[in-house]
Every structure is written in C-alpha cells, then in structure tokens.
Amino acid sequence: MAFPINKFQSLKTPFYYYDREILKQTLSLVTEKQRQYGYHVHFAVKANANPLILNEIREAGLGIDCVSGNEVQCALENGFDANKIVFAGVGKADWEIKLGLEAGIQCFNVESLPELEIINELAGELNKTANVALRINPNVDAHTHSYITTGMEENKFGIGLWEVESICEKIASMKNIHLKGIHFHIGSQITDLDVFKVLCTRINEIQKNLEAKKVKIESVNVGGGLGIDYEHPDERPHADFGNYFDIFHKFLELRNGQELHFELGRAIVAQCGSLITRVLYVKEGQHKKFAIVDAGMNDLIRPALYHAYHKIENITSQEECDKYDVVGPVCESSDCFGKEVVLNKTKRGDLIALRSAGAYGEVMASHYNLREFAQSIMP
C-alpha cells in the first residue's frame, strides 16, 4: 500500500489510517453483487463504528447490523434508516429493546424464548409490533478460531434446532410479535467458503421443516463471517465477494419473494485500515532485538486476544532487513504484535504500519494503563 507518509509526519502517533479508495472499491464490489441478485447487505457496525467509515457505508446504501442498543443509537446518529437496521445479541437489556422498538428497526434477531417473551411484552406496552427473526444455531463448524465460531451447539448464540418448531408455535399466540424470518451467523474470519455451502444445505432443510409446519418465512438472514487475507493485504485487498455471493445464489433455495440478508463486518472494513505507530526504542537483547513501539494492546487487542496475525511493515526505513519482536508499552507480556518479524532496519522514530486493522481494531480500544485513544484519519 502507498501510504501518504508526508501527511503522517506531523500527526500524533499511534493513529488509525483508513484508505478511502480501498474502502470504496470494496463497497462497490459488494453493491454490484447486491444489485445483481437483489440481496440486502447490512454492515456489522461492531467491526468499526468510526463515523468516517460509516459515512462511506451509508452512501453506498448498505444497512446496519447491531449487537447493542448503543450501536442502534450510533447507526441512527450516523444517518442510517431505522428500517435498514437489524439487531442481534444474546443479552438485549429492556432499554435496548425499547430503543429498537421506538426507532422502528427492521428486525430483532432473537436468540432465545425468554428474550422473545420480553420483546412481546415490551412491544405490547408501547403498542407496537416487533418484527423478529429467529437466530437459529445450525450446528455448522465454521473451521475458524474457537473464540470466533458461533454456530456450534456448545456456543451461547442462537436457538437450538430442536427448539425452533415449538417456538414458532408459541409465536402464533404472541400478539405483538411478527415472525419475519430466520437468521444465522456461524462465525468470523471464515476463509473456507465450502462452510457456506454447508450452511445453505442446512438452511434448506430447516426451511422444508418449517414449511411442513405451515410457518411462513419472508426473509432469510445468513449473517456474516467472510474472511480476509491478513497475510497478503496488498496482493488481496478485497475478500472473495464474487464467490461468496455466488454460493448463496447457487446453493440456497429461496422461495418466491423471499428476501436474503447478509451481515458483513470484517470483509468490508478490515483491509482499508492500518494502525500507524512510531518506534520509541530498539532494545537489543542477548538473542533478539525488540522494536518497542508507541501503540499497545489497548489500541489493537487482536494479537493479544486471539493470537491474531497482522502484517507489520516499517514504512519509513529503506535499509536492509533484520528481525525484531515488535512490542508495545503496556505492562503485559501479551502486549506483543509479532515475534521475529522481518522489518527494514529499524531505528527510533521510524513509522510502523500494522496492516489489516480496520475491523475489530479501533472499536476494541481501551484506556488500559490510562492510555489515550488513538486518533483516526481518512484523507
């Protein structure tokens, strides 16, 4: 990636840099497929809630997928139509449900019977009808990191297959609930696209079973989870959207008039973002060198949290390579962005880019060690 290094020199580090062109290209790949098939794509705002990003996403015409009341609020404040907002989450508090009802969001993705009963009750109090989709746990293995699989029996998410039909029967007598459809989300950073074929097959079975019980399904929401190439952000700056959407077109048996919804987070924003940090010290150990940078795990927690890989580059040095452990200033041994990383010869003051940091980066930042939040720019 060609970074505007001149613009960087005067900025306080660390900061998030978002490449507008990459984001625009990604969005046009998505909207092209969306138009081709008449699909509905919602951006999972938990991946990145920066107004600079949301502005581009709104202009591209995507909807929003939320997992908290504040995300619903954030989507509204950033100009998204309530009727393009869907709201999932296993633990929606009463105020969050009321917020969604009052705003008139498109759909609650409901994760349990007790939640459904409370939505019905609160909607009754407000004299509203809540559109809901049942988030079904399809027991499909996403072949991804265990912390980010969500569609297996042992995960806390969704309604078990065994319970779906009885819940549908109960909904028939809930006055303030309208069952709009079924919802799935099986995990994140899924790079084996065959997983989505398995999901389609499972959904086809579920649809047949529900039809046999005369349950009407207006919309199917297949969630998100499409992965990106963290190893090669320059060679593959976009996720495989073409094959991804084609799989659903080919393998999912939609009924006449049925809508198909997607909730993509990472695949839309990961590659446009980098965390830019400055080298404070190069410390020579007996057997290795440490590049100590001014960004820490509080700015980008993915390596510490999931052992996630981010490509690391020295973007100011042109000198011959050496190996460094790239570490932050936070007082935790897990505050390490990479071990034995091959970098251009590094010295104090150099700028380092942690690539593919546009998703689950800035949004997960904390004040740990009372550190300030990194700023962000999108020139």
Task: Tell me which residues touch ligand PLP (CB under 6 A).
Answer: 44, 46-47, 65, 67, 88, 185, 188, 223-226, 263-267
Provide the minimum distance between the beta carbon of 268 and ligand PLP in the complex, in angstroms, as a whole number: 8
Both structure tokens of 304: 């510490």
Provide the minimum distance between the beta carbon of 196 and ligand PLP in the complex, in angstroms, as a whole number: 12
CA distance 78 to 51: 7
Provide the minimum distance between the beta carbon of 137 and ligand PLP in the complex, in angstroms, as a whole number: 12
Element (H, E) at 31: helix 20-37
CA distance 293 to 282: 9
**Nearest residue (CB) to ligand PLP, 48 versus 207:** 48
Provide the minimum distance between the beta carbon of 264 and ligand PLP in the complex, in angstroms, as a whole number: 5
**Nearest residue (CB) to ligand PLP, 215 versus 264:** 264
CA distance 170 to 163: 11
CA distance 338 to 287: 16
CA distance 91 to 112: 9
Element (H, E) at 75: helix 69-77
Provide the minimum distance between the beta carbon of 197 and ligand PLP in the complex, in angstroms, as a whole number: 17
110 within 8 A of 178, measured Cβ to Cβ:
no
3-class SS at 35?
A: helix
**Nearest residue (CB) to ligand PLP, 69 versus 296:** 69
**Nearest residue (CB) to ligand PLP, 225 versus 328:** 225
Both structure tokens of 377: 């720019």
Provide the minimum distance between the beta carbon of 275 and ligand PLP in the complex, in angstroms, as a whole number: 18
**Nearest residue (CB) to ligand PLP, 44 versus 164:** 44
CA distance 289 to 272: 30
Element (H, E) at 119: helix 113-125
Q: In this chain, which residue has its C-beta nearest to ligand PLP?
A: 265
3-class SS at 221?
A: strand
Provide the minimum distance between the beta carbon of 265 and ligand PLP in the complex, in angstroms, as a whole number: 3
Provide the minimum distance between the beta carbon of 363 and ligand PLP in the complex, in angstroms, as a whole number: 11
Strand partners, 324: 341
**Nearest residue (CB) to ligand PLP, 129 versus 191:** 191
Provide the minimum distance between the beta carbon of 145 and ligand PLP in the complex, in angstroms, as a whole number: 11
Element (H, E) at 273: strand 273-284
Provide the minimum distance between the beta carbon of 188 and ligand PLP in the complex, in angstroms, as a whole number: 3
**Nearest residue (CB) to ligand PLP, 71 versus 350:** 71
Both structure tokens of 378: 């999108």
**Nearest residue (CB) to ligand PLP, 16 versus 244:** 244
Residues in the chain: 379
Both structure tokens of 360: 């689950």
Q: What would the DSSP string read from start to end of 148-192?
A: GB-SSTTSSSSEEHHHHHHHHHHHTT-TTEEEEEEE---BSSB--
Closest CA to 339 of 357, 321, 330, 326: 326
**Nearest residue (CB) to ligand PLP, 203 versus 293:** 203
**Nearest residue (CB) to ligand PLP, 181 versus 224:** 224
174 within 8 A of 222, measured Cβ to Cβ:
no
